Amino acid sequence: MIVLTGATGFLGSHLLGKLLSQGYKVIAVVRVNSNFSRINKWLNHPNFRFYNCEEISLRSIFEQNKVDVIVHTATEYGRGNGSISKILDANLILPIRLLELGIEYGVQCFINTDSYFNKAGSTYSNLLNYSLSKKSLLVWLKQFSTQINIINVTLEHMYGPYDSRSKFVESLVQAIAVERISQVNLTHGHQKRDFIYVDDVTDAFVTLIKYGSNHSFTFKNFEVGTGNSLQVRDFSQSVKDLSHSSSALCFGAIEYRSDEIMDSKADVSAMNDLGWTAKVNIEEGLLKIFTLYMVDIDY
């Protein structure tokens, strides 16, 4: 039995579908105002249940079910002037509460989702409060790791269909391939990112769930990406070329942030040792999205 936070979000919904398709039993921890549109098709699945954490105690989940693994994907970025207390509640307080209960009820493993811009030595002023909350959680994860297996997933630049428009790739695809607006303003685009398709990410999580359930350890960090980085400039051009869009890409119209991360890619050696590798290249990933969005690519 897996307890999953963030099941109605982008990564969480994809992971929920993957887990159910592989026969796992999943309990989702949701909130009153959660948008279920991404997971409507699974609401009546026999292996899926959800609990509203604002209406019942988290403890009741563990009292009523034998939980093996907790997977924390719920994230509050604080975009749009989100309150700090809301950020801390989702990114720090909720996982700590689940960790305490997991230890009390004999859960084997806790898996946390982290971001590439929280790597040691990196700062990211655009999402400073988010970064601070996640870095604080990392300290606590190491503290708890003497009592429960802890896996921290450092995730590179994930993309896929039906992500939030606030995310770079989704915004880019909508502007260039779907809406085909005349001009798309971008930075110079020389910063490099390790773009990884969401299906590869969910496969990585399944691999880590199996590993965390069958081995004993304290704290382990796994970086999840393709292991290769690509300039944002080239990625943007691929979106334009593969969709045959006439949108003009205006590189340099937006200045870099003062603390822009100019190159990030995953060290995937630890994941490779577990038998996992990313399979979807950028062209394949974009074409999957275009197909779902009914973008005409047959010119």
Residues designated as active site: 130
Report phi then psi at 113, rounded to 5.
-105, 120
As a whole number of angstroms, the distance between CA 146 and CA 45 comes to: 36
As a whole number of angstroms, the distance between CA 102 and CA 15 comes to: 20
Strand partners, 6: none
Cα 64 to the center of its chain, rounded Å: 28
At 50, is the secondary structure helix, strand, or coil? strand
As a whole number of angstroms, the distance between CA 206 and CA 212 comes to: 10
From residue 110, alpha-carbon distances to 50, 104, 133, 142, 246 in Å are 18, 13, 18, 11, 47
Other beta carbons within 10 angstroms of residue 48's beta carbon come to 20
Specify whether the CB–CB gap between 283 and 238 falls below 8 A: yes
Long-range contacts, stretch 122-131, CB < 8 angstroms, 24+ apart: 122/261, 123/259, 124/259, 124/261, 125/257, 125/258, 125/259, 126/257, 127/77, 127/78, 127/79, 129/78, 129/82, 129/84, 129/87, 130/75, 130/76, 130/77, 130/78, 130/87, 130/91
Report phi then psi at 226, rounded to 5.
-85, -20
As a whole number of angstroms, the distance between CA 39 and CA 283 comes to: 27
